[in-house]
């Protein structure tokens, strides 16, 4: 599978996006310093997708509700993982759900830990907003970008983030 990398300059930093011929494969968390430009030439589709994603991310970082429209390459996920991630992608902006509730919603109420495992391997955070899944007691746990970033994203979505 051929992969193409693009560096997206966003309001919160530089984000590395990895694309395949199907769509977005991976999106890294924002970095303050610009990483080295990837080698190679992107296809016309990747250029269009990258520009669309950059615009959508900037709207998101500015506090607007965004429904990300770039295609996602789901290869490599099991059907269970894909069901968790697909459900997570539909959690509305500004809302949260617990791991247990998510497990019940996908008709697998005993799979709370497996839900956490599926979210842990989410390759496209922000686009699939795993930061919106929280502990049953409201705790902010289990986020690849760290609890501080998870809290910042939830504050941004609540409309009370610092400008």
Catalytic residue positions, numbered: 130
Cα 85–Cα 31–Cα 156 angle in degrees, nearest 5 = 60
> Which of 57, 56, 29, 54 lies closest to 42, judged by CA?
54
DSSP 25: E
Half-sphere exposure of 46 (CA within 13 A, CB side): 21
Contact between 46 and 63 under an 8 Å Cβ cutoff? The reply is no
């Amino acid at each position: 599978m051929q992969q193409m990398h693009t560096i997206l300059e966003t309001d919160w930093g530089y984000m590395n996006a990895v694309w395949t011929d199907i769509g977005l494969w991976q999106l890294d968390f924002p970095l303050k310093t610009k990483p080295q430009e990837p080698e190679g030439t992107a296809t016309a589709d990747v250029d269009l997708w990258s520009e669309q994603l950059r615009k959508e991310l900037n709207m998101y970082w500015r506090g607007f509700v965004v429904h990300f429209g770039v295609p996602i390459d789901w290869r490599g996920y099991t059907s269970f993982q894909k069901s968790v991630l697909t459900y997570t992608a539909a959690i509305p902006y500004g809302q949260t759900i617990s791991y247990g509730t998510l497990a019940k919603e996908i008709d697998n109420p005993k799979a709370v830990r497996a839900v956490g495992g599926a979210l842990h391997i989410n390759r496209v955070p922000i686009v699939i907003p795993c930061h919106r899944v929280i502990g049953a007691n409201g705790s902010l746990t289990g986020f690849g970008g760290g609890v501080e970033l998870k809290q910042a994203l939830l504050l941004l979505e609540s409309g009370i983030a610092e400008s």
